[in-house]
Chain A
Amino acid sequence: MNTRQESAHFTPDEFESFLGEKLESDRKREVLAHLLAECSVCQEIAQRFWSTPTADRPRSQACNVADVERSVQSAIDRAEERYRRLAGERGEAPVLLEELLSHPPLRRQMLIRHRRRYQTWALCELLVDRAHANRFDDPRQYEELAETARCIAFTLDPEVYGAELVCDMRGRTLAYLANAKRVHTSDLPQVETLLQQAAAELANGTGDPLELFAVLAFERALRMRQRMFEEALALCIRQQALAERVNDRKLIGKTQQDTGFALRSLGRFEEALHAFLRAEESLDPVDDARSLSAVRFNRIGTLDDLGRRAEALEEMEPLRGLLAELGDRLNLLRLRRMEGEFALSLDQYELAEACFRESRNGFIALDIGWEAAEVSLYLAQVLLLTGRIHESKELAEQILPIFRSASLTTEAIAAILLFREALLTESASVQLIQRTLEFLSDEQQRKSAQRG
């Protein structure tokens, strides 16, 4: 007996049961037989269950507009109701945060695991933000707070927030913890592992491009630290696509800036310059003024890399204005130092000396020993080039205390001692200064990449 010849066409309800594995075995076989025979009547029914977003969806799947409108309104009402219930936790979060931070880190984790009031989205989010705010000033605090945030994220109730959103928050806290460890420790394998765990959590999350963007941004920072610039550049391209998808001009601008850094590190200066220009176009002159100043700073440096020093000098004045508006004293000093470097390369020793002395004094006043010390080396170069041996010896005596305050590595201190000795014995040369500066610059880059 042939099933196709004997059995009736299946109905939409039967096909729904077939899909839900609720059809009896014999009838299931008959449904399959009709499909295998490419029965046009049954195909038409089955096609209604074909669920692709593309144009080949049959007209029979067209939805009733009024029904969909009602559903969407109902979704809005229910989401707002759920959010209102959660809004209270936002108000409590700052108080809970202070309460939690009054305990040592290990006790915090115990409290989080055992007290439900700490197990909230708002507190977790606040901790992540507080942690990240510490990334430059207190990397250890950054790591501790990120660890606490991770602890909360893994106690969030999927029934309250939804399983996918909880995965988003787990991914976010793991990503920030990874970045905190990159900044604070040298345990790069652990950073890699945490970033992989973050990506795995996000794969089960809502697919929010902003969450994925953060993971990629931290991975890019890691690759830059590892001096894997090609890989960093590839990550920038992925970040760019995500930022464009959510139309976030600030993230687009920052990604272009990071693209510029990666390209500059690869020696692709022209492309880096374009990336910095695109970054400027994307950033808002008011809201993103600080990022904008960083981009312009790097653009000037890249122009210098390309040997277009006249253009670089032209760009300095507008940047000086912007930095002054922002009250960014530190970067004003850095700009002055850069101006000194340009002047030195153009043999304008008087201007160079003025720039170096001014920026050196500023760095000392701000207690930024490293940069004060570096500028001292440039100043020594000017003094040597202008034959002022006596003054260079005086400078040599001042250099060591400045460098000591800059928490240098043993290798850097050794280099400075050697250089100081050379100055005092009048055997220092411009080449020696430049080699010492290059060495210190590499050291600083390593430290800076570590901070992100």
Chain B
Amino acid sequence: MAAIQRTGPAPQPEHDGLLTAKRSRLVAIVLKFGIPAQDAEDLVQQALLAYLLKADRIRDPDAWLAGAVRRECLQYLRARQRRLYDAIDGALLEVIADPQPPKQEKDQMLRDLDSAIGRTPNRCQRLLELRYGFGFENREIASKLGYQVSSVRKVATRCLAVLCRQLLFTSDRGQGARL
């Protein structure tokens, strides 16, 4: 049985300045992931504490710690990205559900949305049309498109990501002057 076994006594930070020696590598990882300095502190601290608590099981501290900080950075970025998707998704659903906005404005937004959806892959088009055109919940989308209920959330997130990318990274098709 290849269980994880202790490899030695826990490190004593006050003796070896072990973590400080690793600082430049950690800084490089944070910079590579583009984590804002104000958020980097918490992420790195969590990874370091995990390292200190588990150090006697870890054979290659550099590899383990670099991996732990990378995972923290990735989780942070995923959470941020998820926040962006949720905000755009929530705002779109509000506009569609709100009976109050002036009709012309809403029509224009819906046309723009249709256009953006039209530039996503076919599979996403069908899913996004059901969500924003008919207000379907994930369970209904799963039933309509033949997905498992357990997997439709993941597919919906991917499609929302494609749509958000469309909205953030495509040029303004020469309509900037209207703004």
Instruction: State which size class the interface on B falls in.
Output: 35 or more
A32 adjacent to B77 (CB under 8 Å): no
Task: Considering the complex, give the chain A residue whose CB is closest to the CB of B166.
Answer: A38
Given contacts A36-B109, A71-B37, contact A84 B13 (CB under 8 A): yes
Q: Is A354 an interface residue (CB 8 A)?
A: no
A49 adjacent to B84 (CB under 8 Å): yes
Given contacts A74-B41, A162-B49, contact A213 B4 (CB under 8 A): yes
Count CB-based A-B contacts (< 8 Å). Answer: 261
- State which of B36, B48, B81 has its C-beta within 8 Å of the C-beta of A52: B81
A 11-34 contacts with B by CB, 8 A: 18-21, 25, 28-29, 31-34
Nearest CB of chain A from residue B137's CB, rounded to whole Å: 20
B95 adjacent to A43 (CB under 8 Å): no
B171 adjacent to A79 (CB under 8 Å): no
Q: Is B27 an interface residue (CB 8 A)?
A: yes
Q: Which residues of B contact A179 (CB under 8 A)?
A: 1, 3
B27 adjacent to A50 (CB under 8 Å): no
Q: Which residues of A contact B43 (CB under 8 A)?
A: 75
Q: Which residues of A contact B175 (CB under 8 A)?
A: 4, 37-39
B173 adjacent to A38 (CB under 8 Å): yes
Q: Is A63 an interface residue (CB 8 A)?
A: yes
Given contacts A72-B27, A179-B1, A209-B67, contact A33 B105 (CB under 8 A): yes
A84 adjacent to B14 (CB under 8 Å): yes
Cα–Cα distance between A214 and B54 once the two chains are bound (Å): 14
Cα–Cα distance between A86 and B52 once the two chains are bound (Å): 10
Q: How would residues 226 to 248 of chain A score, 1 for a CB under 8 Å from any chain B CB and 0 otherwise?
A: 00000000000001000001111
A 53-111 contacts with B by CB, 8 A: 53, 56-57, 61-65, 67-76, 78-80, 82-84, 86-87, 90
Task: Considering the complex, give the chain B residue whose CB is closest to the CB of A216.
Answer: B2
Q: Is A267 an interface residue (CB 8 A)?
A: no
Task: Considering the complex, give the chain A residue whose CB is closest to the CB of B170.
Answer: A38
Task: Considering the complex, give the chain A residue whose CB is closest to the CB of B76.
Answer: A51
Nearest CB of chain B from residue A65's CB, rounded to whole Å: 6
A36 adjacent to B167 (CB under 8 Å): yes
Nearest CB of chain B from residue A221's CB, rounded to whole Å: 6
Q: Which residues of A contact B40 (CB under 8 A)?
A: 63, 68, 71-72, 75
A-B contact pairs, 30 of them (CB 8 A): A4-B179, A32-B91, A33-B108, A37-B112, A38-B112, A38-B175, A41-B179, A47-B169, A49-B80, A49-B84, A50-B169, A51-B84, A52-B77, A52-B81, A53-B32, A63-B34, A70-B37, A71-B30, A71-B44, A76-B19, A80-B14, A90-B10, A129-B6, A206-B50, A207-B68, A207-B71, A210-B54, A214-B4, A245-B67, A251-B59
Residues of B within 8 A of A (CB): 1-6, 10, 12-14, 19-20, 23, 26-27, 30-38, 40-50, 52-54, 57-60, 63-64, 67-68, 71-78, 80-81, 83-84, 87-88, 90-92, 94-95, 101-102, 104-105, 108-109, 112-113, 116, 167-173, 175-176, 178-179
